[in-house]
């Protein structure tokens, strides 16, 4: 039923909560491929940050973000691989929701699994919700794993 599961992760406990569901589905359904996707949102290069920190600092910050992301993804990949799951890692730059939806469309993803705070109403309106945007715009099914501390 599933050939490719996309698991966007951002290094938070919340995003890793979704990985328990990824493990269960990938193992139970013999899914041939799981893709861990990490989006690096660009650091604003104009305005006060650039004038205060300088262009060299911004380039180093972006380089460090990529290196830290690759280390993180390799650690998560190792945990899943030890469970017998075939895992690929991908790093993209841009807006998280847009990149997740675009990656899923372009790479024949059968299922997206994401964690969520379970926020609603004014909190989601004020902060926006990557998960909400993905659910609304994805052509692939999205499983939203609501973190247990968010349940009411």
Residue 95 sits in a domain of what CATH number? 3.40.50.620
- 77 touches 36 (CB < 8 A): yes
H/E stretch holding 58 reads helix 55-81
Task: Give 71-91 as a 3 state SS string.
Answer: HHHHHHHHHHHCCCCCEEEEE
pLDDT tens column, 51-64? 666 667 666 666 66
Query: Tell me: the pLDDT tens digits for 140-152?
Result: 999 998 875 544 4
Does the pLDDT value for residue 96 go beyond 90?
A: yes
- The per-residue pLDDT for range 17-32, each reduced to its tens digit, is 889 999 999 999 999 9
> Quick check: 90 pLDDT over 60?
yes
pLDDT band at 41 (very low <50, low <70, confident <90, very high): confident
What's the confidence (pLDDT) of residue 152?
46
Going from the C-alpha of 45 to that of each of 30, 60, 76, 98, the distances in angstroms are 44, 12, 30, 20
- Which pLDDT score, from 0 to 100, does residue 14 have? 79
Rounded Cα gap, residues 18 and 115, in angstroms: 5
Whole-model pTM: value is: 0.82
Q: How many domains does the chain have?
A: 1
What does the pLDDT read at residue 40? 87
Classify each residue of 54-80 as buried b or exposed e, where b means 16 or more C-beta atoms within 10 Å of its C-beta: eeeebeeeeeebeeebeebbeebbeeb
Domain range for 145: 4-150
């Amino acid at each position: 039923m599933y050939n490719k599961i996309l698991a966007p992760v951002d290094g938070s406990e919340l995003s890793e909560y979704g990985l328990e569901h990824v493990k269960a589905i990938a193992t139970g359904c013999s899914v041939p491929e799981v893709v861990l996707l990490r989006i690096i949102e660009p650091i604003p290069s104009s305005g006060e940050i650039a004038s205060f920190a300088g262009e060299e600092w911004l380039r180093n910050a972006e380089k460090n973000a990529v290196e830290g992301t690759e280390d993180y993804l390799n650690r998560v990949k190792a945990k899943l691989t030890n469970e017998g799951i075939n895992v690929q890692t991908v790093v993209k730059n841009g807006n998280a929701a847009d990149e997740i939806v675009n990656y899923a469309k372009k790479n024949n993803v059968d299922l997206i699994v994401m964690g969520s705070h379970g926020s609603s109403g004014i909190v989601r309106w004020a902060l926006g919700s990557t998960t909400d945007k993905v659910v609304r715009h994805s052509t692939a099914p999205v499983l939203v794993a609501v973190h247990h501390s968010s349940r009411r």
